[in-house]
Structure 1
Amino acid sequence: MKTNVFCKPWLILLCLAMGLSTPGFSADPFKLGQVTPEELKMTSYAPDTSAGAVILYDLGESSFRFTKGTQLQFKRIVRIKILKKSGLNQADFLIPYYRRRDGSKEVVENVRGFTYNVENGETVKVKLEDNAIFDEKQDANWYLKKLTMPGVKVGSVIELSYTITSDFFRLLREWAFQHTVPVKWSEYRVGMVPFYDYKHIIYGGRPFHIKDAKVERKTVAYAYTDDVGFAKVDKNGSLSMSIVQYQWVMKDVPAFTEEPYLTNAKDYLSKIEFELAKVEYPEQKPVYMTGDWESFTKELVKEEEFGGQLANATFLKKTTDGLIAGKTDSLEKVKAVLNYVKSNMRWDGKHRIYTENLRKAFDNHLGSSSEVNLVLTAMLRQAGLDANPMLVSTREHGRPVTNSPMISKFDYVISHVAIGGKNYLLDATEKDLPFGMLPLRCLNVQGWVMTGTAGKWLPLTGTERNAQLVSGNIKIQPTGEVSALLTEDYRGVPALQARSAIRDKGQEAYIKEFANAGTDWVRQGVKIHNLENLQETFKKEYQLSKTGEAASSDLLYISPMLTHALGENPFKLATRLYPIDFGTPVDETYMFTYQLPQGYEVEEMPKSATAVLPGNAAKFSYVVQMTNGQLQIISKLNINKTLFEASEYGNLREFYNRLVAKHAEKIVLKKKS
């Protein structure tokens, strides 16, 4: 989407000879090429000795330029020390930039890089060559500059600098102070001019070492062309303005550690973002930028590489008419179209919003999430249905931003269709998705459906329940040999994951891998049911066995959960700063019936237990009972609330501690005297 909405700025400023720079800061904490002997000799980083690398210094600076309309210029210099093999990936850089067909663009330039190593007591400096920098097109508008620093090994210090000049002044670049490796010093500077009012949005909650703003008065010359009747008149003069020089610094920032059930690190990293709230030129009325979802939607509908593709999709009519011939029920038409797209188009694995050529993607039977689901939406429209594209921010992209319409906050497109007042959310990228279900990556709070004049937010939920049921009859021999016939039933996400694994690996390879149950257990006679019937429960049946001793034992120790015990708590940290997001409700049930060997009695068995979190957010029950001479074990886990706040972490961690401990308890059988 075009973000530079001011096609003709009110003036072109001719800055002073030195330009409208960003003065007033203290001396740079570092400059390119000033690597110290101490940095070269470093072998570990004292605050985090486990770190594979450390960012020594990271400096970003954004400023405005007015020589070619209104532009933003962003400069970055970063220095990194490689400490271990695990840190070598810090030598890989991806620099995204944006371009549009109307000529507005971002340009990455002045890319300079050096690697420093100590060899035979001497410092050796290796330069990043231009031919080692590659451009890769991501989609219709987004590109990547990709590079790997040369000669990098454990002990290296690497430096990189680059500049990005952008025509999109609405998109003042954000800055991340925290990364997956520790950061010794991170600094961001912005010189704000008075015409543009940006909101500052700070994430992560870490304190700033420096947070400063200084006002500097500056006079600049300007010249612009004004339309007077049928003539153009050149005007010039001077303008005095106050520039606010912002400086944000964090130091000794710990590495961001991924934790289980965390949607996306970008939601919780310490960073600062900017949102253009108002534009006010001298002697003109202010223009307020945020909150206008209606304009956002209308512009995207007119966008050639989005709404324009849907408007020019008559090439799909003949195919669609054939699919719905003889069908009068709207829901049957939807299912016919969805199944066709799922079967005839293959997803390339890319998350996209725009598409350059929908027909080309259709003809090639291959496309991004946008292309696959825009084809689906277009065909549903050709079928006379109320279908519209829906913008989604996937779980890995970050939580959706609802207070401001920014296309960069979305990375995925699905299809929305309304039938009889009911909403159906559809994604044709996954061949194994049952009707009405979305893949886990899309289950991220809510999405923006482009319906009506302005669109609306809708919750990202599916109709499919996610459940797992494992049941079986187990026979124990006096030697300790165990034989069982087990059945595993899956619905929802677990079923999708199993079906997708079979599709990726092939059924024979999947069964062979599944048969390997570990050193003690063997799975045999594996049968798969309802592989293609997506609306039915996915089922596996198999025999599970474990060898015993050569002779009978006086005492037999049995693990009642067989191979299904939860062996460790996924929540290992003592405290947690971030929410826990399960994505979907959890419903896991295990029901095992044991036939005990003759001549043995139960010496010891687990006691029944129940654990419940406040508000019934989660419940675990473990039932052990003797019925008609048989021992029954029933384990049930229900996670009813999908999102837990960090303040609830302690209770959730203890809840799982109890579950793990209960699953670890054994049945002890004793030979009767």
Structure 2
Amino acid sequence: MKRVFKMAAKWVLWLFLLGAPLVAWCGQDPLKLGQVTDNELKMMVYDKDTAAAAVVLYDYGESSFQFTKGTQLIFKRTTRIKVLKKAGLEQADIFIPFYQKGMGSSEKISGVKGFTYNLEDGKVSKEKLEDSDIFEEKEAANWYQKKLTMPNVRVGSVIEFSYTIESDFVENLREWEFQKDIPVVWSEYRVEMVPYFEYTHVMHGFHPFHTQDSKSYRKTMAASYKENLLRGSSQAAEQMGALMLRVQQYRWVMKDVPAFMEEPYLASADDYKSKMEFMLTKVQYPGQKPSYMASNWDGFVKEMLKEEQFGGQLARGSFLKNMAEGLHLNNTDSLARVKAVLAYVQRQLKWNGEYRLYSKSIKTAHEKRTGSVADINLLLVALLREVAIDAHPMLISTRQHGRPLTNLPMLSKFNYVIAHVKIGKNSYLLDATEPSVPFGMLPYRCLNGQGWVVSQPSGEWVPLKNQERDVQVVMAQLEVKPTGEMLGTVEETLRGIPALQMRSSIMAKGKENFMKGFSDKGQEWLRQEVEMKNLENLEEPLKTNYKLSKAGELQPLQLMYLSPMLHHATAENPFKVAERNYPIDFATPSDKVYIFNFTLPEGYEIEEMPKEVNLSLADNSVRFSYMAQMMDGKLRVMSRLNINKEVFGPEEYASLRELYNQLVAKHSEKIVLRKKG
């Protein structure tokens, strides 16, 4: 959106005449730089989290509007942090993201100030952040960041900084993150709303507000506008006036916010950290009709399809026609055409690693043989349409980016685009960014809830699921010698994400280097004569065969302790905390099956063997079985773990954790062999 506020002189005067005496906000004033206390400087440990490496003592932000340079959002922040341990020294690096869009609209960071405080011989030393400690870096297209390196920070330091961001993008009202990776004593955000803009706010996380209120008052604000110099002339002069507006100021405070702890199988921490986001839904100036910011999915579809760098890229062009003709697909069925087009785009374009929703030119990307996610997958959709396939772009959010909101069309909640294809009653989700991704499968990063198909009239939500389960099957035939030496053969079979990850690793490292690393399993186990099947046949399981050996002692053993899971044991429970407030997201159902057959040495008998176990959660959502028994003169050990759904709620966490506790315990059990006589 461009600057949405253009003001006429008559309107300024009308607003001014509506004015009334100013009513001041009567809430608690925010702290200022330089008000560091003795207690903060002497603090050695944070009593509410004694393990904390650092703690945010105070984090204050405010957003408001100004009208002296068109319409701008002004965001101000003041933050104070105490460093308690060596690991907390990383808090000395401050990153401030901001957005630049050509010469017309931009964000500007100003008023950067910072100080580091230390106690030295009982006295307070104060060191100022210098200009030489401030750097500017480009992060991505249109995105930059200021990096502040606070001076002389050591364990015991208190650092504080403040800055202001002037933004031309009123649709980007700054979000506020109350919770961080370190504890927060006080976090406060104030937003001053004016009558012309309406925002919907979205709250994440579980920590309660300490304070949540608002005040309404009138405020006089300076404003600029353009006025024609002569009647009928196109020349205009910049004039200044004043606005008297009734504003609504909101105040949100959280206190004693615990550090957010990253836990396994959590798609995105941003979905569960306590924070607030905003979406501009309506703009209305006095005497004008309201303008709605695609507050429904119908409007969102129209905007996306008319956007030149999105829907505009799907228009058929001569280069697409020539490309389609070169594939010679006239006499093939629909499914074969889709597979051929996917394979072609995968081979022709290399992904540059950038996540994008828009493409400046899919034609240019094809000519350069490289591009972003949007370049590659919008080209895929356009080429599929050229060969008469029902294909549409599909907006998704990757796992690290967080889940999109299904009830609000917030473009910022998406960061990735794939292809949605329909053939008869069947639907397929396609991503051409990686050559190792088989047809009908998405990379792990894309398996994140639902995606939104951009199709008339209002699109549709579609689950992001792969067509097949993740599978790992390991089968071994091993002979145990009296010295404890073991040797034999192993076959590993992979499907789904594990197969994709191995194929991608082989492609990245080169087959020779990968094989070298795969063979070197460490001092205990040695892999030799490794062979792989179906490495390039993506729709078949990836199979790896090799000889496996383990050295023994110089003399026969009286007692032998056999670890039957070899090097495949689950050594520790990934679910360590006693309670969890967040879902457990495995991304896809999976099967892990291990079958090991051991030929035991003559003259030895089994003295101790693990007991059989069969465990399952409600509705068989997870099943674990383990068995060790003699069969046909051989010792067979089998472990099977089946995870039958993608996401588990927090209420299922305790049961899942306990099942993994028993799995780890069972995998650690040894089989004891004793020499007879």
Same fold (TM over 0.5): yes
Distance between the aligned counterparts of 2:357 and 2:11, measured in 1? 33
1:518-537 aligned at under 5 Å gives the runs 518-537=522-541
Q: Residue 392 of structure 2 contacts residue 455 of structure 2 at CA under 8 Å; is this kept in 1?
A: yes
Q: CA RMSD in A?
A: 3.2
Which deviations, in whole Å up to 9, do the C-alpha atoms of 1:606-635 show, x marking residues without a partner?
111100000111000112222111111111
Match of 1:58 in 2: 59
- Secondary structure at the aligned position of 2:58 is classed as strand
Is contact 1:149-1:158 (8 Å) kept? no
Deviates more, 1:586-595 or 1:327-336: 327-336
Q: Deviations over 1:331-367 (max 9, x none)?
A: 2222222112212211121211122333332222221
**Residue 369 of structure 2 corresponds to which residue in structure 1?**
365
- Code of the residue aligned with 1:568 in structure 2: it is E
Distance in 2 (alpha carbons) for counterparts of 1:127 and 1:51: 25
Do 2:341 and 2:384's aligned partners in 1 also have CA atoms closer than 8 Å? yes
CA distance in structure 1 between the partners assigned to 2:594 and 2:12 by the alignment: 72
Cα offset, 1:289, TM superposition:
5.0
Task: Find out whether 1:109 has 2:113 as its counterpart.
Answer: no
State the AA in 1 paired with 2:134: A
Q: Deviations over 1:619-656 (max 9, x none)?
A: 00112222111111111100001111111110000010
Q: Which residue of 1 aligns with 2:480?
A: 476
CA–CA separation in structure 2 for the residues paired with 1:9 and 1:323: 58
Q: Are the structure 2 counterparts of residues 7 and 427 from structure 1 closer, same or farther at C-alpha, using a change threshold of 3 Å? A: farther
Q: Deviations over 1:514-538 (max 9, x none)?
A: 2233442222222222211111111
Deviation, 1:401, is 0.9
Question: How many Å apart are 1:498 and its aligned residue?
Answer: 0.8
SS in 2 for 1:652: helix
- State the match for 1:125 in structure 2: 127
Conserved in 1, the CA contact under 8 Å of 2:23 and 2:219? Answer: no
Matches within 5 A, 1:232-631: 241-279=245-283, 281-282=285-286, 289=293, 291-311=295-315, 313-325=317-329, 327-631=331-635
CA change 1:247–1:502 in 2 (3 A) is same
C-alpha spacing 1:19/1:179, structure 2 compared with 1 (3 Å): farther
CA spacing shift, 1:447–1:216, aligned 2, 3 Å: same
Tell whether 2:148 aligns with 1:144. no
Structure 1 segment 86-235 matched on structure 2, within 5 A: 86-100=87-101, 103-116=104-117, 123-129=125-131, 132-136=134-138, 138-139=140-141, 142-155=142-155, 156-218=157-219
**Contact preservation (8 Å) 1:606, 1:665:** yes
Inter-partner Cα distance in structure 2 for 1:590 and 1:80: 50
Does the CA contact (< 8 Å) of 2:4 and 2:71 recur in 1?
no
Change (3 A) 1:51 1:420: same
Secondary structure of the residue that 2:59 maps to in structure 1?
Answer: strand
**Percent identity, aligned pairs only?**
52
Q: Deviations over 1:175-226 (max 9, x none)?
A: 1001112212211001123344433332212122222222224466889789
Note the C-alpha offset of 1:601: 1.7
CA distance in 1, matches of 2:79, 2:23: 19
Which residue pairs with 1:654 in the alignment? 658
Cα 1:54/1:503, change in 2 over 3 Å: same
Counterpart amino acid of residue 669 in structure 1: L
Contact preservation (8 Å) 1:116, 1:126:
no
| Cα deviation 1:149-184 (Å, max 9, x = unaligned) | 143542344333222233333332211001112212
Cα distance in 2 for residues equivalent to 1:472 and 1:555? 23
Alpha-carbon distance change, 80 to 13 in structure 1, aligned in 2, over 3 angstroms: farther
Q: Which amino acid aligns with 1:337?
A: V
Query: Which stretch of structure 1 is more off in the superposition, 663-672 or 263-272?
Result: 663-672
CA distance in 2, matches of 1:327, 1:480: 62
Alpha-carbon separation, structure 2, partners of 1:102 and 1:12: 28
Which is worse superposed, 488-497 or 329-338?
A: 329-338
> In structure 1, what is the Cα distance between the partners aligned to 2:10 and 2:114?
37
Q: SS in structure 1 opposite 2:478?
A: strand
Please identify, of 475-484 and 655-664, the stretch whose mean Cα deviation from structure 2 is larger. 475-484
Question: Is the CA contact 2:106–2:169 (under 8 Å) kept in the aligned structure 1?
Answer: yes
Q: Could you tell me which amino acid in structure 2 is paired with residue 125 of structure 1?
A: E
Taking the aligned partners of 2:223 and 2:62, their CA distance within structure 1 comes to: 24
Contact 2:480 2:487 in 1 (8 A): yes
CA distance in 2, matches of 1:413, 1:569: 35
The amino acid across from 2:271 in the alignment is D
Stretch moving more, 564-573 or 114-123: 114-123
**Alpha-carbon distance between aligned partners in 1 of 2:100 and 2:514, rounded to the nearest angstrom:** 44
1:581·1:642 contact (CA, 8 Å) conserved in 2?
yes
Structure 1 residue 374 displacement after superposition: 1.6
User: 92-101 vs 355-364, which deviates more?
Assistant: 92-101
Give the gaps of 5 or more residues in structure 1.
Answer: none
Give the AA of the match of 2:144: L
Tell me the matched-pair count.
668
Q: In the TM superposition, what whole-angstrom CA distance separates every residue of 1:80-136 from its partner, at most 9, and x where no partner exists?
A: 233334333333344333454693443333333444456786625142417833141
- In the aligned structure 2, how far is the partner of 1:102 from the partner of 1:423? 43
Determine the C-alpha separation between the residues in 1 that align with 2:657 and 2:8: 56
Using the TM superposition, name which of 563-572 and 118-127 deviates more.
118-127
Distance 2:111 2:20 in 1: 18
Question: 1:627 is matched by which residue type in structure 2?
Answer: M
Extract unaligned runs of 5+ from structure 2.
none
For the residue of structure 2 that corresponds to 1:436, the secondary structure is: coil
With 508-517 and 576-585 compared, the bigger mean Cα shift is at 508-517
Contact conserved, 1:579 with 1:646, CA < 8 A, in 2?
yes
SS at structure 2 position matched to 1:607: coil
Which amino acid counterpart does residue 75 of structure 1 have in structure 2? K
Distance 1:389 1:64 in 2: 36
